[in-house]
């Protein structure tokens, strides 16, 4: 009798909860499979929905690239999953992505996870729709016009030159990723938000950088706002950033613009005043925060990848120097002949190809989020109305059929143009369609100046060799890329 009681107790304690859990998982899977739109004959994409309520969010957050690569190998270019509290279809491949990016407002609309919408706010460009999105983008694009970019170049050169000089003066190990993030943050607050260098003392700069890192770390988190949760920490850091931006906005309101160029924040302020709209401080702060995120987090990722690839491929760095030498730009001491401007930068075709190849192999942003406005079919599968759709940039680059030897770092592949129609959506580091990155021309100019300054002044060695890359939410090296910089001897 005692053994029977012990067995029954063990059954109730261990086996029954396990069976109930497995039954809940099966019911969860059945619920979403049966949730397909009966009006469409096409099946749902293959895939799994993970745990009840949590879906596969935890696996994705913890494993990132490994999780996504496993899914791609198992299910192909379109599969279903459950992420950030929503049933989701993840897609990749040029033709599939083309239909999503060109289907804005017809098939899909932007909808980032709840945590992103909460932290960045409803008033930022990424979360606006229809005419509000169109009008806001039009205003922000003025800050990235050709004339505006031309005016930004001296300040960008100054900031990059100062950082490169510090790396050389150190003479020992430089942790590249945090240093580049700090550099890109200084450029962003100066160029995009109009913070003067004297305003950004080291303590304030450090406070803002730390707040931004905390906010970015928690952008993609479970939408639970309780003390010590990711969302709670993200919002707390966001509030520190908003407070500093509000100080800057009030200072701008108190005086007329007297700079050679108008930063993006000034343009937004003038737009609301000119159109007789009430100045909405919250929306301005949200827009400024988004500009800072896009203006430094993504460029820091790309610039770090540039240092990585050029450090691993010295022959490519030498070809960069040959191009600079041919243009009279290699020696940084001859100030009369090596001034950078838009026209000069546009003619640096090989450096442009180096940047493209870097963005192909390591796109800073791995993908974008949409929601299905109606049920539609994609490559033989139905995408039900209301489901989230994630298009993958990194996977689309990985599977591009037009690119041979995709694992190799070979900038020469971009020196000869591909047929526009067939290659357009095989290379999408800045997204595409109506919501392509508003600051992509700014990013290209900044990265070209960064490459020029490095090639003119430095040689460098990656102390740990090729780094392991991680995504969170942009791509970065796990070891922060420890590097030793030495002065370049001027011979290419």
The pLDDT tens digits of the residues spanning 50-85 come to 888 778 888 887 777 788 889 999 999 999 999 888
User: Does residue 149 belong to any structural domain of this protein?
Assistant: yes
DSSP-derived pairing of the beta strands 108-110 and 367-372: antiparallel
- Residues 338-370 have pLDDT tens digits of 579 999 999 999 999 999 999 999 999 989 999
Is there a cis peptide before residue 449, judged by omega within 30 degrees of 0? no
Arithmetic mean of pLDDT, 315-332: 92
Domains in the chain, number: 1
Let me know if residue 442 belongs to a domain. yes
CATH code for position 300: 1.10.630.10
| Helices and strands counted in the chain (H then E) | 20, 12
Residue 198 lies inside a defined structural domain of this protein: yes
pLDDT tens-digit profile of 213-236?
899 888 888 788 888 888 999 999
Looking at residue 85, its pLDDT comes to 83
Packed helices 298-312 and 349-361: angle between N→C axes, nearest 10 degrees:
110
What is the tens place of the pLDDT at every residue in 268-278? Answer: 787 777 666 65
Q: Identify whether 20 is part of a domain.
A: no
Residue 19 falls within a domain, yes or no?
Answer: no
Asked if the structure places residue 414 within a domain, the reply is yes
Asked if the structure places residue 27 within a domain, the reply is no
Phi, psi torsion values for 158, nearest 5 degrees: -60, -45
Residue of higher predicted confidence among 50 and 254? 50
Strand 388-392 and strand 458-462: pairing?
unpaired
- Mean pLDDT (whole number) for 105-130: 88
Closest CA to 302 of 356, 350, 359: 359
Evaluate whether residue 24 is within a structural domain: no
pLDDT digits (tens, 9 = 90+) for 361-415: 999 998 999 999 999 999 999 999 999 999 999 999 999 887 788 899 999 999 8
| C-alpha–C-alpha distance, residues 92 and 68, integer Å | 11
**Domain range enclosing 141:** 35-487
Q: Say what the pLDDT of residue 336 is.
A: 46
Q: What pLDDT, on a 0 to 100 scale, did the predictor assign at position 15?
A: 56
pTM of the model: 0.87
Which of 420, 109, 123, 79 has its CA nearest to residue 277? Answer: 123
Decide if pLDDT at 19 tops 90: no
How many whole angstroms separate alpha carbon 371 and alpha carbon 383? 10
Separation between Cα atoms, residue 392 and residue 44, nearest integer Å: 19
- Give residue 152's region: left, alpha or beta (phi > 0; psi -120 to 50): alpha
Q: Mean pLDDT, the chain, as a whole number?
A: 85
The number of residues making up the chain comes to: 492
């Amino acid at each position: 009798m005692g053994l029977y009681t012990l067995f029954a107790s063990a059954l109730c304690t261990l086996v029954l909860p396990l069976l109930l859990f497995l039954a809940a998982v099966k019911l969860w899977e059945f619920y979403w499979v049966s949730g397909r739109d009966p009006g469409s004959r096409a099946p749902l994409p293959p895939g799994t929905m993970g745990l009840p309520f949590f879906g596969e969010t935890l696996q994705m957050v913890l494993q990132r690239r490994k999780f996504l690569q496993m899914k791609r190998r198992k299910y192909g270019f379109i599969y279903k999953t459950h992420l950030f509290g929503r049933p989701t279809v993840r897609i990749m491949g040029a033709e599939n992505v083309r239909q999503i990016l060109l289907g804005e407002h017809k098939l899909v609309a932007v909808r980032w996870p709840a945590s992103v919408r909460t932290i960045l706010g409803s008033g930022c460009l990424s979360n606006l729709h229809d005419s509000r999105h169109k009008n806001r983008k039009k205003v922000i694009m003025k800050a990235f016009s050709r004339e505006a970019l031309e005016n930004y170049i001296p300040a960008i050169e100054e900031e990059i030159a100062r950082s490169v000089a510090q790396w050389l003066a150190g003479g020992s190990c430089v942790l590249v990723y945090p240093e580049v993030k700090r550099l890109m943050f200084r450029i962003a607050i100066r160029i995009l938000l109009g913070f003067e260098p004297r305003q950004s003392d080291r303590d304030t700069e450090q406070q803002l950088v730390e707040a931004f890192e905390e906010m970015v770390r928690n952008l993609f988190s479970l939408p639970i706002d309780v003390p010590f949760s990711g969302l709670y920490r993200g919002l707390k850091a966001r509030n520190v950033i908003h407070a500093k931006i509000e100080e800057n906005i009030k200072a701008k309101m108190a005086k007329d613009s007297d700079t050679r160029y108008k930063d993006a924040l000034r343009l937004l302020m003038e737009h609301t005043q000119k159109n007789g709209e009430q100045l909405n401080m919250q929306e301005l702060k949200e827009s400024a925060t988004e500009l800072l995120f896009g203006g430094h987090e993504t460029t820091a990722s790309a610039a770090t990848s540039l240092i990585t690839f050029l450090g691993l491929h010295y022959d490519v760095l030498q070809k960069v120097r040959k191009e600079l030498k041919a243009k009279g730009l290699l020696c940084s001491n001859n100030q009369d002949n090596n001034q950078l401007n838009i026209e000069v930068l546009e003619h640096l075709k090989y450096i442009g190809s180096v940047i493209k190849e870097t963005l192909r192999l390591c796109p800073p942003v791995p993908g974008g989020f949409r929601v299905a406005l109606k049920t539609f079919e994609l490559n033989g599968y139905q995408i039900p109305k209301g489901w989230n759709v994630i298009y993958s940039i990194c996977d689309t680059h990985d599977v591009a059929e037009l690119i041979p030897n995709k694992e190799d770092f070979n900038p020469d592949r971009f020196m000869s143009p591909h047929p526009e129609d067939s290659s357009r959506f095989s290379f999408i580091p800045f997204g595409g369609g109506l919501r392509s990155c508003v600051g992509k021309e700014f990013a290209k100019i900044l990265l070209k100046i960064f490459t020029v300054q490095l090639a003119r002044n430095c040689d460098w060695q990656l102390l740990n060799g090729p780094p392991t890359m991680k995504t969170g939410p942009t791509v970065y090296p796990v070891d922060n890329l420890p590097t030793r910089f030495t002065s370049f001897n001027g011979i290419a």
